[in-house]
Structure 1
C-alpha cells in the first residue's frame, strides 16, 4: 500500500486465493479485484480473510504465497474463512538450492551514523550499563529480593511510585465510613512520587534483580541450559558486572556457569561475584558479603561511559506477541525492512520463535548461506515439532485464542506473517537455545513462540535491543535490554499509549509506506540505544524473565 491511499482489502501475494479485510465489511458488499467483481457472502471483520473463488472441502488456502490451510467444508465465493471451515496445513520441506539473493536497501544515509554505547573488552557495545544480581537456583530467590529491597531505593534506582497514595485514599475513605459502592465509584488519580536517594552512580543505568524457578529438581538438561542462559546475560554487552547467589547443592553448579561464561567470552574480565550460601553459613553472612562486594563492583562499573559506536554494533532481537491479522501486513514487514537495513550496515538481527516459522521452512532453509546451516535449521524444526506431537500437541496448536479472534486462525497463517520480521537477507547462522550470536547478518534462534521465553532467550544470545510487534497489546519487557513495543494498528496505539512505543497502523491507514515507517523506527532505535529515550516497558519497570524448560512450550 502506498502512502495516502486507504484500501478496504488487500491481497498480500499474487498466489493468494484469499483477501484480507482492512476494515469491517458486510455481507453483500461488492469487491472489485483484478478486473472482476465478487459479492461478500458473509460479514467479514477487519483482519479476517475471505475467498476469491468458491472452494470445496479439501481445497488449499494460500496466503503470503504459501499453503496455510485446507478447507473442511464448502466455502462460497466471498465467504469468510474461520476455524469452522479450514484447518492448519503446511507444505513439506527438504534441502533445496541456495537462494541468497536479496533486496539490499539503500543505507548510504546511515553509513556514518553512530549511537552512544558502552564499549566492552570483547568488542561488543552495550545500549545500557546494568549491574546484574541473579540466583543459580530458585532457593535463592528470597535473598535476591532482600538485596533488591536493600539496594534499589538507597542507590537511587527505584522507579517512581504512585499507587501507594491511591491505597492511602481508599484507607481514608473506608475509615470515614464510605460504603463499598462509593469505594468502587471513587476516581483514584495516579500521583507519581519519587522515592529513594539521589542516583549515586551516574554511569550505571540500574541494578537488575532476576528470579526464576529453575536450577534444581528438573532435568539436568534444563539446569545446564539455565547456566548457559545466565552466562549469556552475564556476558551481555549491556551488563557491567554481576552478583550470583548459589545455594551449593543444586544441579546448576557455579562451575558449570563458569564454563558457559568462558564459552561465550574466553577472556572474560567483568567483575563477577559468586557467593555460596552453604559455604558461608548464615543468611546474614551471605547478604553482608553480597552487599559489600556488589557495592565495590558498582564503583568499578561506574567508571565506564558512553562512547560513539557504529550501527553495526547493534544486535536486534525480532519478536512478536499478541499478534493479529494486521501483524504480517504492517508491523512485521516493517521490522523486516529495518532488519535488511541493519544487515546491510553490518549489524546482527535475531529471528526466533520456531513454532511460528511453520510453513515457511522451505524459504528459510533455502536462504541459509550453506547446506550445513540449512540442515541444522531443518533438524531443529523437525525435532521440536516431533517432541511437541509426542506430548499430544504440535505447531498447529500455536495460535492463542486472541490470535484466532483477530484473524490468525491457523499456525501457518500466523507463521507466514511472523517470518516477515526477518526481511529478505541471507541467513548467516542457525543457533540452538541458548547459543550466542557470533555472526553479523540474520541469525535464526530456536526458541518457543511464547513471548517472554523467546525474548529472554534472544537477549541471552546477545540482542542489545528487542523490537516487539503486537496487535492486541502486551506489556512485555526485559531486565537488561530495551524492548521497543510496536503496534500493528493505530487503534491499539491510541488505546494503550503507556505500553506502545511506535505505531505501524499508519501503513494500514495508507499514511506511510513500509520503508518510511522503518526509517522512522530506526531513528527511534538509535535514540534508545544512545540512552536518550527510554522505552515504555523501561518506564513501567517491566522486567520479564522466563527461562525455557526444553520440554514443550509453543
Structure 2
C-alpha cells in the first residue's frame, strides 16, 4: 500500500513537514515560542527541563531533544539556547544536523537578550522555512511508517474494545513491513510476564521484566507503592478495579506480533516490527518519548476522553465508550463502541483504524491536529539539583 511521505536526506520518511524550534532549556522556551508563532510551518517544543539535571536524567533529556529534531516529520530545526544551561547546545544541533536536514542555532546570552534573540531567530527560521517550502511529498510504501500506540483516560471499554482494535491495526502495519511501538511501563505491571513471552528472545523478555521491576523500585525509593496510584481515580470511576486489570487491557494495544526489542525512553528502533519502549504512564511524556524514537503517527485510545495531541506527530483518537464519542465528538476520530454493541468485530474496527492511519499519512488531519493540540512533556527520572 502506498502513502505520501517526505523522504529525508538520511533516507527516513516523514508524513509532515514541520520546522521544529527546539529550546535546550526552559529558560529559552518563551523565545522559541515567540519565533514559532511568526513563522509558517514552525512548531515550538516547550522543553521544561535542560538545566540542573544530572546523570541518566540529563542524558535522557539530551537524547530526547536530539531525537525530536531527528524525527522524520521535521524538515528543519532551529535550536534556541540560553547559554549557561546543562544541555550542550551545539552538540544537540550537530547531532540533528548529522541527518542532513538544515539546522540553525541561536544563543540568547550571545545575541543580547529576548528581543534581539527573537529577531535573529525569526531571520534564521524564515531562511529555514524558505529552504523547505519547496519540498513535496512523494509516493512511498506504508512500511516506512513508524506508529506509536498510546492510551489515556482509560475505562472498562478500553480493554474490551479500543485497545484490542488498535492491536489489530498494529498487526496490520507490522505485517505490511512497518514499525509499531507500545509504551507505558507502569501499565505493564501485573501483565509483564504475558508480554515477556512474546519477546523475540529470552534475553529481551528478561530486559522487559527488568524495566518493570526498576519502575516499581524507583517508586519504592520515594516510600510509595506505585500500585497505590494506579489505576487512577478516573480509571476507577470508569470501571477499572486494579492495576492488573488495567495492564491486561493496556497490552492488548500491541496486538500479537513478536516483540523485537525493549527500548530506553527516546531510543530509536534498529529495525522494523513491534517494539516496547520504557516510559511512564503519563500520556504526554510517553508520546514524547516514542516520537523522539522516530514515531511519525500516534493512535491513542481513551475511554473517558482526552483532547491531547503532539507538536510533531498527528494523533488519532479512538474511544470504545459510546457516551464519550457523543460528548467529545469534537475530539474523537473513531468510535469503537460498535464492538461492544455487536455492530462490528474487533477486526473490523482495527481495519478502520489502520485505514485512518493511512489517510493521515496521506495528509488527512485528525481532530487533535486540526484543533491545534500540541501538548508536550519530557519524562524526568531524577530530582533537579
The residue aligned with 1:142 is 30
Partners of 1:500 and 1:366 lie apart in 2 by: 33
Q: Which secondary structure state, in structure 2, belongs to the residue aligned with residue 436 of structure 1?
A: coil
C-alpha distance in 2, partners of 1:380/1:256? 29
| Paired position in structure 2 for 1:238 | 73
In the alignment, what sits opposite 1:185? none
CA deviations over 1:106-159 (Å, ceiling 9, x no partner): xxxxxxx1111111122221111101112101111221232234x15xx4xxxx
Q: Distance in 2 between matches of 1:437 and 1:303?
A: 30
CA apart distance, 1:551: 3.8
Offset, 1:255: 4.1
Number of aligned pairs?
382
Greater CA drift, 303-312 or 218-227: 218-227
**Distance in 2 (alpha carbons) for counterparts of 1:408 and 1:130:** 38
Match of 1:368 in 2: 199
For 1:510 and 1:275, locate their aligned partners in 2 and report how far apart those are by CA, in whole Å: 57
Tell me the equivalent position of 1:503: 335
Corresponding residue number in structure 2 for 1:90: none
* Residue from 210, 215, 221 that aligns with 1:384: 215
In the alignment, the residues of structure 2 paired with residue 347 and residue 468 of structure 1 have an alpha-carbon distance, to the nearest angstrom, of 18
Measure how far apart 1:256 and its partner are. Answer: 4.2
Deviates more, 1:301-310 or 1:412-421: 301-310
Question: 2:381 maps to which residue?
Answer: 550
What do residues 302-347 of structure 1 show as CA deviations (whole Å, max 9, x unaligned)? 1211111111111110100000011111000001111111111111
Question: Helix, strand or coil for the counterpart of 1:241?
Answer: strand
- Kindly name which structure, 1 or 2, has the bigger radius of gyration based on alpha carbons: 1
Cα pair 1:220 1:251 within 8 Å, conserved: no
Q: What's 2:267 paired with?
A: 435
Tell me how far 1:406 sits from its aligned partner.
1.3
Alpha-carbon separation, structure 1, partners of 2:355 and 2:317:
15
1:494 and 2:326 correspond? yes
Q: Judging changes above 3 Å, is the alpha-carbon distance between structure 1 residues 287 and 259 closer, same or farther for their aligned structure 2 residues?
A: closer
Question: Distance between the aligned counterparts of 1:529 and 1:142, measured in 2?
Answer: 31
Partner of 2:290: 458
Q: Paired residue for 1:329, among 152, 155, 160? A: 160
Q: Distance in 1 between matches of 2:70 and 2:155?
A: 35
The two structures have a TM-score, normalised by structure 1, of: 0.67
CA RMSD of aligned residues (A): 1.6
Deviating above 6 A after TM superposition, structure 1's stretches of 4 or more consecutive aligned residues are none
The residue aligned with 2:139 is 308
Partner of residue 228 from structure 1, selected from 48, 63, 66: 63
Could you tell me which of 253, 258, 262 is aligned with 2:88?
253
Measured against aligned partners, the alpha-carbon deviations of 1:366-424 in whole angstroms (never above 9, x if no partner) come to 21112332222122111111111221223412211110011112111100000000011
* Superposition map of 1:95-174 within 5 A: 113-149=1-37, 151-152=38-39, 155=40
Please say if residues 93 and 105 of structure 2, whose CA atoms lie closer than 8 Å, have aligned partners that are also in contact.
no
SS at match of 2:156: coil
CA displacement at 1:260 relative to structure 2 = 5.1
Q: Which ranges in structure 2 are unaligned for 5 or more consecutive residues?
A: none
Partners in 1 of 2:113 and 2:289 — Cα distance?
Answer: 34
